[in-house]
Amino acid sequence: MSTIKNTIAELAIAEWKAFGSHNYEEHDLEGKQLENKDGYYQIVGKYWKEGLGINLDGRNTDQAWSAAFVSYIMRKAGLGNRFLYSEAHRDFINKSIQNKLANDTARSWWGYRLNEVKPEVGDLICYGRLEKGPNVSYDYRPDGYPAHSDIVVRVEGNKAFVIGGNVSHSVTQKTLHLNANGYLDDTQKPWFVILKNRIEDAPAVEPAAAIAVTAVPTVKTNTSYSEQWLRRALEITGDFETSGDPFGGVTGDFDGMGVSCGVLQWNIGSDSLQPLIRKAGVQTVYKYMPNYGKDFWIACNSPKAEGLTIVRHWHQNGKLNKLAKAELSKLMASPELVSIQMDAAREDGNKAYELANTWAKEMRSATTASLQEFCWFFDLVVLNGGLKGVTSQQVKAFCDAKSDSQLRAEISNWIKTYPAHVTEAGKHIETFQMKDAQSNASLWAAGVPNGDLSLFALSYLRAQKSRPQFQLVTMNRKGTLALCKGTVNGELDEFSF
């Protein structure tokens, strides 16, 4: 199955969870009209704005938003011009049927009769909604007919699970019946067409482009390092960022990011925190944040500027309210959010493992990296992005020209003589973590018995590639990982790998 089909399903499931994971057959949404309530109408607004560029939200109850939901999911899945985004289902239904009848193999979506294809993940299943006269069918599609489409997210045995927007005024899942041969045989709605997702067969760019968006990059999964390695790296990097449980770490708006949360300090200002919270769903947020959960859910489902305004109201005299911080910490340290944080960190883990393996091969002729090397490169990827041109050859040359004591002395002297203030873009600014660095210079000059001097040398060379204000921050963190002991953010850390 193509990655995009899986992505479509995963995105739809995440939105379903955000609305509370309701099932159509349970009839538990009657009269609730979640779409126009706080915490939900903003999500509907997201579908309109990001899916179709239309300025509506769930309070516009006279506007059906089910097609906006489908359009949003397809855009977020990275379909670009391979889907006909519209506020009317009939537009992409008609186009898909036309593609099939014309045998247009260049198109990504074909519309099939129910007895022609079996539903699969990533497909759309559609029904007509005419109230008078004959209903819509594959062959009878009058001008302007109303319709609805649901996204297939899972197929198991004789059941297809589909998710649609604006179903009972929510994002809701239905369970459809399949016959013994796997074809749709369901009487809940007057289904008449399956829009088959053919993206794995169709070209990446279709002849007549719709509005294109940037495709979501797929994460190359690397299972050669264990879950324990990733958790260890996360704990170390998270501990460098905050004190206490790194998964529950929370900091306020000192850096203009509103609030930063979790082991990698995902935040509102960079739009990195919001996807994690939406994936957890509104019920999880309310469960762990009884006082601030409602506002936080709205903040994570509103435009960034509005989200920042909401969480900044939780600050007094520049400090985050203690209760808000405690509830955020409880949410982020919950089993639900720890699992989501682990998933989100795997892309960085894969990058770190690749870099660490290259380092191990070039420096030690080893086939795989050590846990220490993996943790060092994980912190590099998270904090610095990459090596910024520093090579293993440069490290070897640096190490070969000096004895161990000379190497430690040169690096320690560089730290000791580093200026307390530096000039950047014509401004005279304070060097970060100066006190920690001075403590480390004395510690490291004396020698640390369990250290890796090659990694220590790499730490030194890479630190000099950072902005002057942050060079000592890089050195403190990377040197502590290389020598297994050092002070970062005022705390003395000692590691055993």
Element (H, E) at 375: helix 371-379
Give mean pLDDT in consecutive 10-residue pieces for the chain, a chain of 497 residues.
80 91 79 81 92 90 93 90 93 95 93 96 95 87 94 96 95 96 95 92 43 32 71 88 81 91 90 90 90 91 88 94 96 93 88 94 93 96 91 96 93 96 87 95 84 94 94 96 94 90
CA distance 369 to 364: 9
Element (H, E) at 197: strand 191-197
Could you tell me the domains of the chain?
A: 3-197 (3.90.1720), 227-337 (no CATH), 387-494 (no CATH)
pLDDT for position 321: 95
CA dist list (Å): 470 to 279, 418, 420, 440, 496: 33, 11, 11, 15, 26
- Write the DSSP assignment of 124-168 as a string of letters: EEEEE---SSSPP-SS---TT--EEEEEEEEEETTEEEEEEEEET
154-166 confidence digits (pLDDT tens): 999 999 999 999 9
